[in-house]
Structure 1
Amino acid sequence: MSPDLAELPFFSALTPEQLAIVAQGMTRVTLDQGENLFLQGDPAARFFLLLEGRLKVTQLTEDGQQFIVRIVHPGELCGFGPAIGRTIFPGSAEAILPCRLLAWPRARWEPLIAAAPALAVSAIQAVGRKLDEAHTRLREMTTEDAGRRIAHLLLRLARHAGPGPDPVEIPFPITRQDIADMSGNTLHTASRIMAAWEAEGILLRARRKVIIADTAGLAAIAETRD
């Protein structure tokens, strides 16, 4: 059993006996930036808990278009097919920062949640967040213009940087293509809007990063009504 397992929030309240159950079959996974944890269509043979880094989960449509489903942050489960009855991964997960994860065989799902019910709660919350994000994207795409959608997206991502004064840097690499995909815009539209915001001093110019120089100004754009 890993000596630091009891220090993780999911497992900190468990007894030594419960920790021993959690440790059965558990392995550690490390990924370099750009490395895939799993690919869409792979057998969902394992599930994972992200300890450090960030993962980008994408799906490829039948016509070959790729879109970003979610960003996985430290402390979140991913690839939890056993929780929802899936036998294959419905998307691909790529490390956008170097990552450390815990992994278990899918057969360990039920013993694990019996020993650590917080994992089951986390899985339910993760599914809920995915549905909420999908509903939010659908509402924004049908009721908001391109600029407001991008502003809302950047503000949501910036929350993961934690509270603090401006400037606020989204704490993982993200491209304008990513932003276009996640906000339902074309790359040209996203680039044009963000370039204008850089000229106005709302964003700072940076490569593969987003740095918000004026959070209040971006929030005002997000809440602008036509």
Structure 2
Amino acid sequence: MPDDHPTVRAAFQGLSPAEIGTILTGTTTARLAAGEPLFLQGDPADRFFLLKEGWLKVTQVTADGQKLIVRIVHPGEFFGFAPALQRDLYPGTCEAIVDSEALVWPRRRWQAVLGAAPSVTLSIVQAIGRKLDEAHDRLRELSTEEAARRVARLVLRLRAKAGEDALETDEGIELPYPLTRQDIADMSGNTLHTVSRIMAAWESQGVLGRGRRKVVIADARALQDIAGDED
């Protein structure tokens, strides 16, 4: 196999060597230090990607200058879907939260990758669908839900997506990558002041653990109650 990284093996599990060879033809690897961008909003959309390790965040700056974090990319996820959406430019900036590594295809390989195996096409379509679902959820929450509930729902979604990568600590379940309160504000559509007030209160109440640039869920049941989740 041309790339024997475990995340790549898992992404293409069940495919024949010939199918994998076709899919990986022309790929390179991008290695990023924490805080380093992979691409910038408005750059030519000349590549698409699979995250091999690490975590990335995708941000957008709106017409009025507001910065939003629209997605956290986890290992094993395809991203950089501009070719699928017939975009010539990336609509957002993608940068590493921690040291990260991504598999890179040139845009000209898009059709060949999609045609190589139905399972790959399905994975990419599902990833696009999840991205759209998250956008719809966010729009609904911004228009109908108060600040604390939006923050609680966001933290629970991040915990669910982290899966087995989430860390068990003495204080609770810790997300496996650093997030500032500004990051939480950018993702939940709140101001930094509002998020700081909410999270400080939750830390005092034992809902969250205390930690600089860390999100630790100390009482998941209480957080679910705030979010309005039944399970």
If the TM-score is normalised by the length of the shorter chain, which range does it land in?
A: over 0.9
The RMSD of aligned alpha carbons is 1.9
Q: Which residue of 2 aligns with 1:191?
A: 196
Counterpart position of 1:15: 16
Paired with 1:167 and 1:86, the residues of 2 have a C-alpha distance of: 42
Letter in 1 for 2:86: G
Q: Which residue of 2 aligns with 1:145?
A: 146
Where does residue 121 of structure 1 map in the other structure? 122
Q: Give the equivalent residue in structure 1 for 2:227.
A: 222
Letter paired with 2:196: S
Instruction: Measure, in 2, the Cα distance between the counterparts of 1:219 and 1:92.
Output: 31
Question: Structure 1 residue runs of 4+, over 3 Å off?
Answer: 163-166
8 Å CA contact retained: 2:55, 2:98? yes
- Partner of residue 173, structure 1: 178
Shift of residue 77, structure 1, vs aligned partner: 0.8
Q: Offset of 1:118 from its aligned partner?
A: 2.6
Q: Is 2:12–2:120's contact at 8 Å kept on the other side of the alignment? A: no
Which residue of structure 1 lines up, in the alignment, with residue 33 of structure 2?
32
SS in 2 for 1:104: strand
* 2:205 is aligned with 1:200: yes
The AA in structure 2 aligned to 1:123 is I
User: Comparing 35-44 with 18-27, which one deviates more in the overlay?
Assistant: 18-27
Q: CA deviation at 1:160?
A: 3.0
With the length of structure 2 as denominator, give the TM-score of the two structures: 0.90
Partner of 1:44: 45
Q: Is the 8 A contact 1:10 1:118 kept in 2?
A: no
Tell me the percent identity: 57
Question: Which range moves more in the overlay, 186-195 or 126-135?
Answer: 126-135
Instruction: Tell me the TM-score normalized by structure 1.
Output: 0.92
Shift of 1:122: 2.3
Q: Which runs of 5+ in 1 are unaligned?
A: none
Match of 1:90 in 2: 91
Contact map agreement 1:160 1:170 (CA 8 A) in 2: no
- Distance in 2 separating the partners of 1:52 and 1:217: 32
Higher mean C-alpha deviation, range 204-213 or range 159-168 = 159-168
User: Quick one: which amino acid aligns to residue 65 of structure 1?
Assistant: Q
Matched with 1:2 is 2
Instruction: Output the CA distance in 2 between the equivalents of 1:204 and 1:4.
Output: 38
